Amino acid sequence: MHGVTTTSRSTNASGPNLRKLLRGKPPRIRAVAAAKLVTGEWLFTRPLPAQAARLCRVTPALVSKALGRPPRRRSDHELDRRVIRLGADRVLASLDRITRPVIGGAS
């Protein structure tokens, strides 16, 4: 298989190679790959930050911070996609709530 190296006992699959290997594959094929990871037939090495984050149930941003990497600024395109997914009305309503002036001030 491309992207994996075989030793006498098991196959090493790095994070980037595993991602490339499984991209576009149907669930049945991905499940077989997962089973090989579980049984040790494949050894998962050097996971990508996003893969490690999913495995450890944290955000990729926290993994990047733990690695000492600077925070990544989201592009306008990414922001636009999120607004489309959430709906412009919801985003504008949220902005209205967040930026609503406080009358009378807080004590």
pLDDT band, very low/low/confident/very high, at 1 (cuts 50, 70, 90): very low
Helical H runs in the chain? 15-22, 27-39, 49-56, 60-66, 76-86, 88-99
Give, as one character, the DSSP assignment of residue 48.
-
What gap in Å lies between CA 105 and CA 87, rounded to an integer? 32
Q: pTM of the entire structure?
A: 0.55
Residue 3: both structure tokens together: 């992207």
Instruction: Please determine, for residue 106, whether its predicted confidence score (pLDDT) is greater than 80.
Output: no
For the stretch 65-96, pLDDT in tens is 999 998 878 889 989 999 999 999 999 999 99
